[in-house]
Structure 1
Amino acid sequence: MRRLARARLVAVGLAVAALAAVAGCGGGGTGTPAAAGAGRADGGSVPAQLRFDAATVDGGRISGASLAGRPAVLWFWAPWCPICHGEAPDIARAQKKFGDKVQFVGVAGLGTVPEMRKFVADTGLGAFPHAVDDNGRLWSSFGVDEQPALAFVTADGEVRTLQGLLSEAELNMYTEQLVTS
Structure 2
Amino acid sequence: MRARTVLPAALAAALITLTGCGPGSGSDDAAEGASASNASSPAQPPASSDTGDSRATGDPDPQALQFTATTVDGKPFDAKTLVGKPTVLWFWAPWCPKCKAQASETAKVAADYAGKANVVGVAGLDKNAAMKDFVADTGTSAFPHLSDEQGEVWKRFKVTEQSRYVILDKDGKTVYEGVLPAGQGLAEKLAGLTG
Shift of 1:56: 0.4
Q: Which residue of 1 aligns with 2:126?
A: 111
Letter in 2 for 1:178: L
Deviation at 1:87, TM superposition (A): 0.8
Q: Deviations over 1:62-104 (max 9, x none)?
A: 1111111211111110000000001101101111111221111
2:104 corresponds, among 79, 89, 96, to 89
Structure with the bigger RCO (C-alpha within 8 Å, sep 6+) is 1
- Segments of 5+ residues of structure 2 without an aligned counterpart are 1-15, 23-31, 38-49
Query: 1:170 aligned to 2:188?
Result: no
| SS class of match (1:37) | coil
Asked if 1 retains the 8 angstrom alpha-carbon contact of 2:180 and 2:186, the reply is no
**1:51 counterpart = 2:51:** no
Closer, same or farther: CA 158–146 of 1 in aligned 2, 3 Å: same
Give the aligned length.
Answer: 158
More strand by share: 1
**In the alignment, which residue of structure 2 is the partner of 1:127?**
142
Residue segments in structure 1 that go unaligned for 5+ positions in a row: 1-18, 42-46
Structure 1 residue 164: deviation in Å?
Answer: 2.1
Specify whether residues 147 and 161 from structure 1 end up closer, same or farther in structure 2 by C-alpha distance, changes over 3 A only.
Answer: farther
Would the aligned equivalents of 1:35 and 1:143 in 2 still touch at CA under 8 Å? no
Query: 2:173 — aligned with what?
Result: 158
Across the aligned residues of Structure 1 and Structure 2, the Cα RMSD in angstroms comes to 2.5
1:11 alignment counterpart:
none
Q: TM-score, normalised by structure 2?
A: 0.72
Higher helix share: 1
Residues of 1 paired with 2:73 and 2:59: CA distance? 28
Moved more, 61-70 or 79-88: 61-70
Q: In structure 2, do the counterparts of structure 1 residues 160 and 50 end up closer, same or farther at CA, with 3 Å as the change threshold?
A: same
Task: Give, in whole Å, the separation in 1 of the partners of 2:171 and 2:163.
Answer: 25
